[in-house]
Structure 1
Amino acid sequence: MTTKDVAINGKFKALEYDRSVMLESVSEYLIVDEEHVDIPTQKQNKGWIQFSRRNIIIPGKLIKKIILNQIEEKCVE
């Protein structure tokens, strides 16, 4: 699964990201469209992650990449 393959309502839709990095676990810091991502525990959501702003749902085990632009920009400042 790449950053362009995101499950939305059971279907896949392309989302364009500029840069990404491999995740070691789904508990790492995630940002989508400058909004923080809510990451419930797998007990609560059975491995699914809810993106609160756009109502995007992704299977936690399939997440492999995250966007770095916003984190890097904030760190530089």
Structure 2
Amino acid sequence: MSKAKEKKKVMVYDGQSKELMTIKSLSRDKNDLVITGNIFGSMPMKARIKPQEARTALKLLDFKTFLFLLTLLFRR
């Protein structure tokens, strides 16, 4: 794996700021979103989000959280 590829990782942390999951890639498989990564730093995993689940997830957002997500991209 090249060094440029290695740097493209997204870390997800738990409530105690410990590494919960490392997302290495997001890809498409037909109508599903496929998340590839590692759980707890070592256990490889592929998760799939189906269109119905994505719609349900969007319904969980209130307006304030939606605005926060939009501005999150521009925060340090």
Specify if TM > 0.5: no
TM-score by length of 2: 0.28
Q: Which has the larger radius of gyration?
A: 2
TM-score by length of 1: 0.27
Which protein, 1 or 2, shows the higher relative CO under an 8 Å CA cutoff with sep ≥ 6? 1
Q: Which is strand-richer, 1 or 2?
A: 2
